């Protein structure tokens, strides 16, 4: 487990990582992730191959893999957690935009 986490962290440091690498490292199929997200498998494939996506979609994708998406802005004099961008408003239903 520790080795897997270290390998995933190493992948995450790569500047041009695709989210599909994370899915493969988590030993999940596109079909399984699609079922968790309530979207077709083709939508997961599209997400994994595009250069840009909504934060809400990425959060749902990471959640389907059993994780939590965290975001922060890093400056020379420190970092700021961007929690508010990652939470859904109370009572809001999220529909992934794939």
What whole-number distance in Å separates Cα of residue 26 and Cα of residue 86?
22
**Mean local confidence (pLDDT), 54-62:** 94
Q: Are the CB atoms for 57 and 94 separated by under 8 Å?
A: no
The confidence band for 2, taking pLDDT boundaries of 50, 70 and 90, is confident
Q: What ranges in 1-98 are assigned the alpha helix state H?
A: 2-12, 19-25, 30-37, 41-49, 55-64
Residue 97 in this model has a pLDDT that exceeds 70? no
What domains can you pick out in the chain, each with its CATH number?
2-86 (1.10.260)
**Model-wide pTM > 0.85:** no
């Amino acid at each position: 487990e520790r080795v897997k986490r270290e390998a995933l962290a190493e992948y995450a440091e790569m500047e041009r990582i695709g989210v599909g690498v994370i899915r493969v490292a988590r030993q999940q199929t596109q079909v399984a992730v699609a079922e968790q997200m309530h979207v077709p498998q083709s939508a997961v494939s599209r997400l994994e191959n595009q250069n840009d996506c909504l934060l809400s979609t990425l959060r749902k994708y990471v959640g389907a893999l059993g994780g939590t998406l965290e975001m922060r802005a890093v400056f020379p004099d420190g970092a700021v957690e961007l929690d508010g961008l990652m939470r859904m408003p109370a009572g809001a239903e999220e529909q992934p935009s794939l």
